[in-house]
Structure 1
Amino acid sequence: MTDSALDSNKDEPLRNDIRLLGRLLGDTVRDQEGAAIFDIVEQVRQTAVRFARDGDPASRDELAALLDPLPRDTTQAVVRAFSYFLQLANIAEDEHHIRRRRAHDLAGSPPREGSLVFALDALAAAKVSPEALADFFAHALVAPVLTAHPTEVQRQSLIRNHREIARLLDRRERQQLTPEEAADNELALANAILTLWQSRMLRPVRLKVIDEVKNGISYFKETFFSELPRLYIQATEQLQKRYPEKVWALPPFFRVGSWIGGDRDGNPFVTADILNEALRLQSAATLNHYLDEIHELGAELPLSDLLVKVTPELKLLADLSPDQSPQRIDEPYRRALSGIYARLAATARALDHVDPVRHEIGHAEPYATPAELRGELKVLTNSLKLNGSARLAGGRLRRLLRAVQVFGFHLAPIDLRQNSEVHARSVAALLAAAGRCPDYEALPENERIALLTAEIASPRPLYSPWLDYDEETRGELAIFFAARELRAKYGEAALPNCIISKTDGVSDLLELALLLKEAGLLRPGAEPRLDVNIIPLFETIEDLQKSAAIMDQLFAIPGYRQLVAGRGDEHEVMLGYSDSNKDGGFLTSGWELYKAEILLADTFARHGVRLRLFHGRGGSVGRGGGPSYHAILAQPAGAVSGQIRLTEQGEVISTKYGTPDTGRRNLEVLLAATLEASLTDHENKVEPAGQFHGVMDDLSLRAFNAYRGLVYETPGFTTYFRQSTVVSEIASLNIGSRPASRKASERIEDLRAIPWVFSWAQCRLMLPGWYGFGSAVDGYLAANPDGLATLRRMLKSWPFFQSLLSNMDMVLAKTDLAIASRYAELVADSELRERIFSRIVGEWQLTRRHLLAILERDDFLADNPMLKRSLQLRAPYMDPLNHLQVELLKRHRGGDTDERVARGIHITINGIAAGLRNSG
């Protein structure tokens, strides 16, 4: 079957699924709320569809006439109906993407961008040698890192319900159902939707950190435990097939990390006790998974030594097992597995105080390390391979071996993160209490560096349990002391990294080094040893610009350079996308990140240090989001070099990793993009990118001035922002454990980037994802009459510029000025409202005109018809939610204290976020 045949009517199954889910939801509303409510919902839907399709102002007025006078309970029912429809549409779309991928695989279509096969084909075409590939894997690290940043508005119970609906849709797709089976399937879907309708959409209380830890673990159970080992096996087999002359045994280069339970920046609820419990829960989940797999292997391997030979090592393992049942005396694999199960059960009790659901047959000693467990599993593998049963070693047992190598006993490495200001205060307290320096924070930077360097090299500790410290310092030291103990308990891989937020100088890294020394995680001496990675996070525009110089100065300090040498001459740097965007705007943030990477790569090369970049991306374009594949390929040449970490945040985690199929695809995309970016010069393939840097400098400066001029220099802008968006209401929505602001202030500088971006998404302006671009291009073209041709060349040949404009295209397609104008009406001061909103509209129009001119298109998303259709489908369901959100905000801010009004606002936030998907 040809691709064109595959693509004809390709969306019909999606339309069928959405019609089915919509009908079942409508039936549920009618049954649960009554015909009158159903009729109102249907009338609103039809009017909204007409407004979205025709843009008829009369339809908008009719919509307002329908929605504005609704009683509170009716309003809630309407809001819930439209919110749930958008959630169901998301499920149907995700299943459709899986369906399309399967259809192409079944038809034998050429491999698609983002697949591992496509990447390996590209490397072969570029004449990349198998030796270069082997070197890549020897030094590679690919690590998505889950964070608890609060943009996931869905409760876990609802996410589980979504997974059940997805499973039922998947069954309809993959199996030919009999009429009775089809009826049962539809009944199960109807019941799932009824459960959804009768479940509370909102959390009654704010999430606790441990709740977030459990949420994070659920993605390992749902996706990572099964799909990460499969990805390793796929990569190994692809390489073996292409290069059979080599034996490909890939190291554990792909890991999933976590910040949940270790990220203290602005979150006072993350403590040493929380860190301890986070690792205990992670470890318990890991060992329970291994126990389940061992139990299943016991059922799969009832092989009798009366019929097959076994190795002496396997016989010994079976003889040492507490399982000496006469019924299994001739089944050495089963007896060996019973012994392994018993040792794992003992390990779970010793490490995590957890009893397995299925009790072991008898007593056994716990494993000291995951390597011990892996060694015993390898005994089974070797015996199977040497005695005619190699195929039996290639399924569950092979996946389990890889899982133990990747997840260890700790599941996911947890990063510790704290703000540089907190580190500085803790160091100041230690120095003052020890009589070393009475006022460290008053010292200039050069004196700080000299003092810290001397203290790091000194074997004498500053800390004493007999001295009194303030509460903050005690809490910080407790975290580092706990980290040392937990690394001894769960292994060094459990806590490998410490990140410093708001890094702006060399002393910030040395302060952390000193705190690590006090906890025994840095040991001075002739050959000093550092046990964890010290990672600066550069976030503001100014800090990005200084980042390479800071690292250059740091590497010039002999003592610190020795520490880096002890870490294998590797050093990680984290780049902050969201705060740099809030600081300088979308265009300038992207460009300064790009330039910082080039300068950092040059600096590290001069010092003989391997650079690993950690990208602090969010879900939205305004926070560094967008398609991961193109984002990685858009990095400057040499910036990836086989190693990349990137954050996965908020609702993006459930979107990417909520089901095994989508999770596997997204893991594969990260590996494929890292391979291509590391081993091919993607950036300069068409023409040298460096020739365009001057143009970007020009555009960036103009965009920066336009953005700063609006957000930080326009009188009254903060008032406009707070009154025209739901930022205050988001702060009270129980979607995360962290406060919305770093400090108790109204300043935008102190507001976290997440509510900043999330608020603009809710009112459908998406301002952080595009503002300033129109003014930048307008000014550039005025000064360069032939500039449009240059910008079009940049688009055609430069992946960075392609990614930048593609992301902006998507964001602008999600904006809606008519709806945004309704939110502007919430601003009490009419002069302020008109002055700022008209300025935003003017910039939007400039941005649209110039973007489409560069793209040579008539409308947004001309090259992405699938997303365009998706947005067109969603618009009639989001528009009423926006309209009702504005009406409810008016009532709430006008003094209506009815709890149903506040709940209604929060449900609309939930629904609009579902409709926009990558909104926070």
Structure 2
Amino acid sequence: MSSAADTLPRPAAVDLNLSALVAEGAGAEHLELQSDIRLLGRLLGDTVRRQEGEATFDLIERIRQTAIRFRRDEEEGARGGLDGVLNALSRDQAIQIIRAFSYFSHLANIAEDQHHVRRTRAHASAGSAPREGTLAFSLSRLRERGIGRAGLQAFFDGALVCPVLTAHPTEVRRKSNLDQERQIARVLAFRDRTRLTPDEERDCEAALRRAILTLWQTGILRRTRLKVIDEVANGLSYYDQTFLGELPGIYAALEDALAAADPAWADMELPSFFRMGSWIGGDRDGNPFVTADALRAALRMQSERALGHYLRELHALGAELSLDARHVSVSDEVAALAARSPDRSPHRRDEPYRQAVSGIYAGLAATARALGLAVPARPTEEAPAYTDAAALHADLTALHRSLVANGSEALARGRLRPLRRAVDTFGLHLAGVDLRQNADVHERVVAELLERARPGTGYAGLDEAARVALLVDELASPRPLASAYLAYSPETDAELAILREAADAHHRYGAAAVPTYVISKANAVSDVLEVVLLLKEVGLMRPEEGALALDVVPLFETIADLQASAAIMDALFGLPVYARLLDGRGRTQEVMLGYSDSNKDGGFLTSGWELYKAEIGLMEVFRRHGLRLRLFHGRGGSVGRGGGPSYQAILAQPGGAVQGAIRITEQGEVIAAKYGNPDLGRRNLETLAAATLEATLLHSGEPAPRPVYLEAMEALSASAYRAFRGLVYETPGFEQYFWQSTVISEIANLNIGSRPASRTNSRRIEDLRAIPWVFGWAQCRLMLPGWYGFGAAVEAFQAERGEAGLALLQEMARDWPFFRTLLSNMDMVLSKSDIAIASRYAELVEDKALREAIFGRLRGEWEASIRAVLAVTGQERLLERNPLLARSIRNRFPYIDPLNHLQVELLRRHRGGDTDERVVEGIHLTINGIAAGLRNSG
């Protein structure tokens, strides 16, 4: 679109640029961002003109300028003009407008991401002090606090940082679109880091033009629903893009930084405390398409990606290590590797390192073939397969030791160093695939197995104490319950099949391939014991040895479950049969906390508070039993599902909750936002490690919050809970209001994942998955799950305690990281909300009385929550202390507003009986564009 200086004449080469996104208040450091956005917008404008014609281009430009004028000047005449233009669009015109504004947001996102990378590099080049969230910053803080090598070594020896990618569907873009966006990002990075000649500048612009043209001509939407195998492939693309390359780089940089600060670290190699996890192919909670076959395929594809990477790196390493034995010494280990190598080429007779690498390549290729995997390049000769990743790593380490010993440390620190680290980190499996299933399914399967083995057991009708007693008795027996001579229900057959596949994966790839079994909706000791019993059926629990082959992890999700979590774990640990199993698991128990369902159950404030209290309760139980607690945080992308900056979120945990280990879900469009760009991916991975390091070594001994803080939060939570439940679950007609005023029905029909939107065919809020619940409210710009109830809570608190109450809340915001982070996230969510646009969605509700009654309550609580956030934080306006984010959000609105308007209009037409497929396509396109503009909405 044209420059923000709309009074200037349009140049001959009209540009559809996005400069308004950054022009307002842009300082010198943002001129480069503005330049990138101008360039991308100009190329998009050229594309639109050439592909769709001058009239379409002019229409888009008119809408853009009017939307900016309305947002900038709050001019009612501009709003009326915008409404008039948008309402008059034909279906085809509407789709072109939607596509154009959607791509505006996507291109702006790419430019902003690249700007973050640029600023990080600029700080590094200038030798600036380490910034918060980096490992350098964390190490400097530790040195200031007197934590030396012993404390750090103890942390690293027991540390675990594990981001877990899930297939939870809020990413609406196809991989084809993401690939082109990555290409644009790569070209922008090249332009930024290279002194270009005029020819190179033209080449870069031509590459950008091709990528944008391809984007414009590529369908944004999937025509068919994703299959599980497609989700696996999408997840694997981030390994090529980021994880396989960047994780070894983080280790190398950390080791070098430690050695630079203390020579005692010089010859030390850190344990591989980063581990990648995945739910893709193993999470069958509510997803009937995750089967034993799907798990097998996921594991095979993952292993193929890991081994393919190693083989390519070995091939390149062999080309590099042309060292001649007549000029360098060779260790006995490497000499033995060379002697065993099938490579007998006379050209490499005096090149033992090459011979050794050839033998390692041949052995790994044999491993790939034994696993049924494709091999990038078949070796000329055969060699025995590796039995596990440790054996492969040992041979690579032999190369490393020999190179260091002969004075070639520089070569050892080249390609070999990241390859060794990758093998140690990713093994033969790449990422651990968690199994997840609902506790109700386990109950039915166990009940059937028991009834067939011991008729009359009546497991389903037993109370909890009787169930536990029966399960404990069965766990002590090595006898399996299932028989090959009996027929079982399809559900039981499917569950046993996937467990057998997990057991086979342990034999094929190692135990790290399937490390965890997560139990959704866990609310009793029997829920855990049922899973242990099922694992016994396939040999993953061996009672005579007291051995459990993977972690069994209860997931506490609802408010009631969180409140009961400590008591449940206390009772579980009191059972000798389970305590014995933990002895074989390093006396560590993992517990998963669900942010999404607890929010949908009790609202944002109560969810956050009950999660915090649950952690405190769990820590006390684990301390009494002498066990180590490892928390698995089930966070989503949006604030309403536990999202927000990871660094602040981890440091806001209760002191002692992060005991050197953390697992955390990465979901939906957040995966692309965090890890689609390798530089940003590295920064996000480093942030997780830095926060875990600080939370463990600097915050573990922090005193508990002042009792008056806890009392205040309890009062706030109680009021917020009443307000939220009163609206969502106790207001007649609220379900109807939600389904009619949001795009929830249309979201359910989007082909953005293999999982159904609801656990059942019910339209009840209780049965709806948390993702479409949050996504629906984000699309209509209300963001209800991220703030509703806070205004009512603060008003009630002040009414009871007066000015002293407000002063206390302000003190809590200043001194308590938990409360400060909660307010910061709410500040951001309220900034992205827009009550005027939300009112247009309310007009879709057919019952006028219902519409006015509920929307009136929504508007009142929205206004009260903004007042409360400003009063407690002491700000005069939202995001006052984060001007960069405030400007980004404010300047995005003109590009999102038309999409919201068109979405409402198309929804009205569709629900009014217009069956034209272009109307449905237009609705789905607006969902994509609005999500892109808001970024963390799912």
| In structure 1, distance between residues paired with 2:655 and 2:129 | 27
Encode CA deviations 1:562-612: one digit per residue, 9 max, x unaligned. Answer: 111121110000000000000000000000000000000000010011000
| In structure 2, distance between residues paired with 1:460 and 1:188 | 65
| In structure 2, distance between residues paired with 1:35 and 1:307 | 70
Q: Does 1:814 align with 2:832?
A: yes
| In structure 2, distance between residues paired with 1:94 and 1:905 | 27
Describe the SS at the equivalent of 1:498: strand
User: Contact 1:416–1:498 (CA<8 Å) still a contact in 2?
Assistant: yes
Instruction: Provide the TM-score with structure 2 as the length reference.
Output: 0.96
What is residue 409 of structure 1 aligned with on the other side? 428
Q: Does 1:351 align with 2:379?
A: no
Amino acid at match of 2:536: K
What is residue 636 of structure 1 aligned with on the other side? 654
Encode CA deviations 1:161-188: one digit per residue, 9 max, x unaligned. Answer: 1110001111111111111111111111
Q: CA deviation at 1:59?
A: 1.2
User: 1:261 is matched with which residue: 281, 286, 302?
Assistant: 281
- Which deviates the most, 291-300 or 750-759? 291-300
What is residue 19 of structure 2 aligned with on the other side? none
What is residue 272 of structure 1 aligned with on the other side? 292
User: Contact 1:628–1:670 (CA<8 Å) still a contact in 2?
Assistant: yes
What is residue 242 of structure 1 aligned with on the other side? 261
What is residue 23 of structure 2 aligned with on the other side? none
User: Contact 2:588–2:630 (CA<8 Å) still a contact in 1?
Assistant: yes
| In structure 1, distance between residues paired with 2:277 and 2:299 | 12
| In structure 2, distance between residues paired with 1:805 and 1:689 | 18
What is residue 441 of structure 1 aligned with on the other side? 460
What is residue 213 of structure 1 aligned with on the other side? 232
| In structure 1, distance between residues paired with 2:529 and 2:261 | 47
| In structure 2, distance between residues paired with 1:317 and 1:488 | 26
What is residue 164 of structure 1 aligned with on the other side? 183
Q: Does 1:737 align with 2:754?
A: yes
Q: CA deviation at 1:778?
A: 0.2
Amino acid at match of 2:581: L
What is residue 480 of structure 1 aligned with on the other side? 499
Q: Does 1:845 align with 2:885?
A: no
Q: State the Cα RMSD in Å.
A: 1.2
1:875/1:8 Cα in 2 relative to 1: closer, same or farther (>3 Å)?
closer
What is residue 596 of structure 1 aligned with on the other side? 614
Amino acid at match of 1:630: Q
What is residue 18 of structure 2 aligned with on the other side? none
Q: CA deviation at 1:615?
A: 0.2
User: 1:584 is matched with which residue: 602, 605, 608?
Assistant: 602
User: Contact 1:633–1:683 (CA<8 Å) still a contact in 2?
Assistant: no
User: 2:345 is matched with which residue: 325, 333, 356?
Assistant: 325
User: Contact 1:586–1:768 (CA<8 Å) still a contact in 2?
Assistant: yes
Describe the SS at the equivalent of 1:111: coil
User: 1:777 is matched with which residue: 782, 794, 799?
Assistant: 794
What is residue 72 of structure 1 aligned with on the other side? 91
| In structure 2, distance between residues paired with 1:732 and 1:849 | 37
Amino acid at match of 2:709: F
Amino acid at match of 1:47: T
- Which deviates the most, 452-461 or 326-335? 326-335
Q: CA deviation at 1:312?
A: 2.3
Q: CA deviation at 1:299?
A: 2.0
| In structure 2, distance between residues paired with 1:531 and 1:537 | 19
User: Contact 2:743–2:776 (CA<8 Å) still a contact in 1?
Assistant: yes
| In structure 2, distance between residues paired with 1:701 and 1:399 | 52
User: 1:462 is matched with which residue: 481, 485, 506?
Assistant: 481
User: Contact 1:633–1:682 (CA<8 Å) still a contact in 2?
Assistant: no
Q: CA deviation at 1:338?
A: 1.4
Describe the SS at the equivalent of 1:248: coil
User: Contact 2:436–2:518 (CA<8 Å) still a contact in 1?
Assistant: yes
Matched ranges for 1:475-514 at <5 A: 475-514=494-533
Amino acid at match of 1:699: L
Q: CA deviation at 1:240?
A: 2.4
| In structure 2, distance between residues paired with 1:531 and 1:44 | 60
| In structure 1, distance between residues paired with 2:698 and 2:219 | 50
Amino acid at match of 2:562: L
Encode CA deviations 1:43-81: one digit per residue, 9 max, x unaligned. Answer: 001011111111222211111100112111111111000
Describe the SS at the equivalent of 1:845: helix
Q: CA deviation at 1:241?
A: 2.5
Q: Does 1:542 align with 2:590?
A: no
| In structure 1, distance between residues paired with 2:414 and 2:252 | 10
User: 2:850 is matched with which residue: 812, 827, 832?
Assistant: 832
What is residue 621 of structure 1 aligned with on the other side? 639
User: Contact 2:481–2:537 (CA<8 Å) still a contact in 1?
Assistant: yes
User: 1:419 is matched with which residue: 438, 448, 471?
Assistant: 438
Matched ranges for 1:671-820 at <5 A: 671-681=689-699, 684=702, 688-785=705-802, 786-820=804-838
Percent identity, aligned pairs only, is 61
Describe the SS at the equivalent of 2:518: strand
User: Contact 2:657–2:700 (CA<8 Å) still a contact in 1?
Assistant: no
User: Contact 1:628–1:669 (CA<8 Å) still a contact in 2?
Assistant: yes
Q: CA deviation at 1:378?
A: 1.3
What is residue 6 of structure 2 aligned with on the other side? none
What is residue 12 of structure 2 aligned with on the other side? none
Matched ranges for 1:355-374 at <5 A: 356-374=375-393
User: Contact 2:658–2:700 (CA<8 Å) still a contact in 1?
Assistant: no
Q: CA deviation at 1:682?
A: 7.6
| In structure 2, distance between residues paired with 1:165 and 1:32 | 20
Q: CA deviation at 1:688?
A: 4.2
User: Contact 1:149–1:736 (CA<8 Å) still a contact in 2?
Assistant: yes
Q: Does 1:648 align with 2:666?
A: yes
Describe the SS at the equivalent of 1:15: helix
Number of equivalenced pairs? 911
| In structure 1, distance between residues paired with 2:333 and 2:123 | 46
Give structure 2 stretches of 5+ with no counterpart. Answer: 1-25
| In structure 1, distance between residues paired with 2:470 and 2:74 | 67
Amino acid at match of 1:696: M
User: Contact 2:523–2:561 (CA<8 Å) still a contact in 1?
Assistant: yes
What is residue 282 of structure 1 aligned with on the other side? 302
Describe the SS at the equivalent of 1:784: helix
User: Contact 1:344–1:366 (CA<8 Å) still a contact in 2?
Assistant: yes
What is residue 932 of structure 2 aligned with on the other side? 914
Amino acid at match of 1:472: E
Q: CA deviation at 1:690?
A: 4.2
| In structure 2, distance between residues paired with 1:438 and 1:796 | 58
User: Contact 2:605–2:787 (CA<8 Å) still a contact in 1?
Assistant: yes
| In structure 1, distance between residues paired with 2:484 and 2:259 | 57
Amino acid at match of 2:259: Q
- Which deviates the most, 835-844 or 312-321? 312-321
Q: Does 1:880 align with 2:904?
A: no
Q: Does 1:561 align with 2:579?
A: yes
Matched ranges for 1:364-403 at <5 A: 364-403=383-422
What is residue 36 of structure 2 aligned with on the other side? 17
